[in-house]
Chains A and B, each alone.
Chain A
């Protein structure tokens, strides 16, 4: 549905997007992840035909974003980071206007607007002037604006920014419910959002794609370096020495607590789960094991790992 081939975009001499390629299949939700100023918005703007790319090619719904931009625009709904709202208009007038310029047939405008107001739950404010709405409602009107012509492709730039936790959950549910009929690209720098809503993730940093896979696979790929937390009763230094003598195990920290208890954090690079081996080693040495917990690897770790690798500060 969306194909991006080696897209590059310069702003003056600054390379905002550097040779980015990825694909999105029909009905899929793609998470577009990256720190601030990574090039997410620029990439999305290129896909929505708002900006032309300096090099490279992108097609949306089979149309080239550069040469067939009007066709592409008919097939996309776009919600920029700041929802584009005419503040002095009433919600319903605004949505009618958007439906008109998005090419919804004159006869269907009424029903399309009613439907989208139902989906985004803004029926109760339809006669209010947009300026007077709360941030959460404005965000939903912004989403309604992107959905009103029932586009094949939805491009959402940080759709949950500025919402309260309850609204965030509602918006995520809404986005999830839209998948299948719509192909969705969703940018965010909030990681749980991606693991909760997206089927696939593209991580972008400094304009480059640094990782691309499902959230599960990404976390598995990094799971080679699993972290374990232990609480053991015994002499601190001896325990540390014993554990590091095991193969593929590195000590990260060990701190003594009250009552001879020691907190230990280790990193294990073994292929199999190393917990039984560690437990056995400690018991055999005559110490008491109080706690042994795997931290697992979250998408946060993957993210930090791939976006900080270049400086050599990654773990």
Chain B
């Protein structure tokens, strides 16, 4: 636990004592904010048009759902932006240690690989959590000026968090494979995009095969969270995905030791 905390603290401090954390969080907020603005203003226009039509035909104004028409697309957008931003914070986790030689310090100190991996993973997770918490301002504004349901927002954020942790776990794995940060980031994005898009194939293959592909889709499991449905199936999927990433990182580090790389 002590070792884990030491590694975790060091990683977290190094994010915030370099520009990485600020640039990544800032740009993530900027891009999410732009899309938030577009989605919400579009929603407001739709509402106004619906009101005017209702008045014209002397009908009761329709009830448009802000959760479905604004919050859900916003959450989906953020899940996509996270795909491009999180690899930028995981790429250095091991690559940098390999490049500068500090890995020799870690690997000759009485710290297990697991403690190191969990420490680094958790530091990335906390940085991501800060990112998500910062976006809550978008939701707070919606709650001030509208009446959205709280439940789907909370499950949506839980889904977003679990999805992001899956990115981070595999980002860590790809970082452990190379001493080049760019290679680590690009392979992470490519890998996640593959598991993101794998569900789309299901329409073109046999239903049995399609079902399998759909079940492997990272974003497919996110849909229910965004809708406000909390299903253990999806939670188990993400937790397995995360465990797999961490497990592969451990194997990769152990094998690098044997190969002498």
**Which A positions have Cβ atoms within 8 angstroms of B?**
9, 11, 42, 45, 48-52, 70-71, 73-74, 76, 78, 80, 82-89, 93, 97-98, 100-103, 106, 145
Please tell me if the beta carbons of A86 and B260 are within 8 angstroms of each other in the complex. Answer: no
> Between A and B, how many residue pairs show CB distances below 8 Å?
72
Query: Among B17, B106, B110, which residue has its beta carbon within 8 angstroms of that of A74?
Result: B110
Please tell me if the beta carbons of B258 and A101 are within 8 angstroms of each other in the complex. Answer: no
Which stretch in B51-59, B96-104, B203-211 binds the other chain? Answer: B96-104
Please tell me if the beta carbons of B102 and A101 are within 8 angstroms of each other in the complex. Answer: no
Q: How far is the CA of A84 from the CA of B96 in the complex (A)?
A: 11
B108 in the interface, Cβ–Cβ < 8 Å?
yes
Q: How far is the CA of A296 from the CA of B180 in the complex (A)?
A: 51
Question: Which partner residue on chain A sits nearest B106 by CB separation?
Answer: A101
Q: How far is the CA of A97 from the CA of B107 in the complex (A)?
A: 14
Please tell me if the beta carbons of A73 and B108 are within 8 angstroms of each other in the complex. Answer: yes
Please tell me if the beta carbons of A86 and B14 are within 8 angstroms of each other in the complex. Answer: yes
**Which B positions have Cβ atoms within 8 angstroms of A?**
2-3, 6-7, 9-10, 13-14, 17-18, 100-112, 257-260
A48 in contact with B7 given A11-B260, A82-B101 (CB within 8 Å): no
Please tell me if the beta carbons of A84 and B104 are within 8 angstroms of each other in the complex. Answer: yes
Please tell me if the beta carbons of A102 and B101 are within 8 angstroms of each other in the complex. Answer: no
Please tell me if the beta carbons of B2 and A145 are within 8 angstroms of each other in the complex. Answer: no
On chain B, the residues within 8 Å of A98 by CB distance are 105, 109
Q: Say how far B118's CB is from chain A's closest CB, in angstroms.
A: 14
Please tell me if the beta carbons of B104 and A89 are within 8 angstroms of each other in the complex. Answer: no
On chain B, the residues within 8 Å of A11 by CB distance are 259-260
Please tell me if the beta carbons of B104 and A70 are within 8 angstroms of each other in the complex. Answer: no
What are 21 contact pairs spanning A and B, CB under 8 A?
A11-B260, A42-B260, A48-B108, A49-B107, A49-B108, A50-B108, A70-B112, A76-B108, A85-B100, A85-B102, A86-B10, A86-B100, A89-B10, A89-B17, A93-B13, A97-B9, A97-B10, A100-B2, A100-B6, A102-B110, A145-B105
On chain A, the residues within 8 Å of B257 by CB distance are 50-52
Q: How far is the CA of A48 from the CA of B108 in the complex (A)?
A: 6
Starting from the known contacts A73-B109, A80-B101, A84-B105, 4 additional A-B residue pairs (CB-CB under 8 Å) come to: A87-B100, A88-B14, A88-B18, A101-B3
